[in-house]
Amino acid sequence: MPTANQPSGVDALPLHVRVLGQIDYLESLAEQRRLHELRLLPGGIDTLLLVEHPHVYTLGRNSDPRHILVSDQFVVQIGATIARNERGGEVTYHGPGQLVAYPIIYLRRHEQSITRLVERMEVAILRTLAEFGIAGAVTPGDHGVWVDGRKIASIGMAVRRWVVLHGMALNVDPDLQYFTYINPCGHRDLRMTSMTRELGLPVDWYAVARSFARHFADVFGRVATFP
């Protein structure tokens, strides 16, 4: 399992947590890019955006659109949209009931490793799941978090001038049917799951969001401030 130990003597940075609730995907993308530019300025502050989106399929910079298994017309019929962005990874789905986290953080010198960045994100997700009684696991060479072979969280990030964009999506209680219209993360026959499905009871989205923010801050050596 990946670890997340901070080097001794490294000061924690402030992390401004913003819980936005449901927001249009393109609107959130514009806000990420705005915050990215601000973070590059002197005095910039790390930010963690916690959101959920209306139904949308997103494609990364190198994603193969053939992993969307239905027509554009069908996507419209089910009330979804398609959007491209600059993250890594293949096609994924975002929708109501899913916690999406976008950390716009500056990676300090000791943090400047893409592999370590992904591993730390996985640790934050694992700790969040454990707080709710779910034993997650990671798979070497396949980013994300799994429960008994079913994927519960996906990760896709981009780093520009050592400031992070995009992030992770944790299935709290989304409509899993929407995943059947794609090859999630480019994998055929990938089984998806959610916290609600694994626990067999409702899970509060806001409780998960706050839990993740705490664990993310701890893993990344930040001090979180909440609105």
Give me the catalytic one of 49, 185, 195, 203. 185
Spatial distance between the Cα atoms of 210 and 226, rounded to a whole number of angstroms = 9
| pLDDT per residue as tens digits for the range 61-110 | 778 888 899 999 999 999 999 998 877 677 889 999 999 999 999 999 99
Residue 2 has pLDDT above 50, yes or no: no
Whether 6 is in a domain gets the answer no
Total number of domains in the chain: 1
For the chain, first and last CA: distance in Å? 32
CATH code for position 132 = 3.30.930.10
Whether 3 is in a domain gets the answer no
Whether 5 is in a domain gets the answer no
Whether 88 is in a domain gets the answer yes
Phi, psi of 183 (to 5 degrees): -95, 95
The label of the residue with tokens 């490793």 reads 113
Whether 118 is in a domain gets the answer yes
Whether 71 is catalytic is no
| pLDDT per residue as tens digits for the range 124-163 | 999 999 999 999 999 887 889 999 999 999 998 899 999 9
Instruction: Provide the residue range defining the domain that includes 207.
Output: 13-225
Whether 2 is in a domain gets the answer no
pLDDT of residue 64: 81
Whether 200 is in a domain gets the answer yes
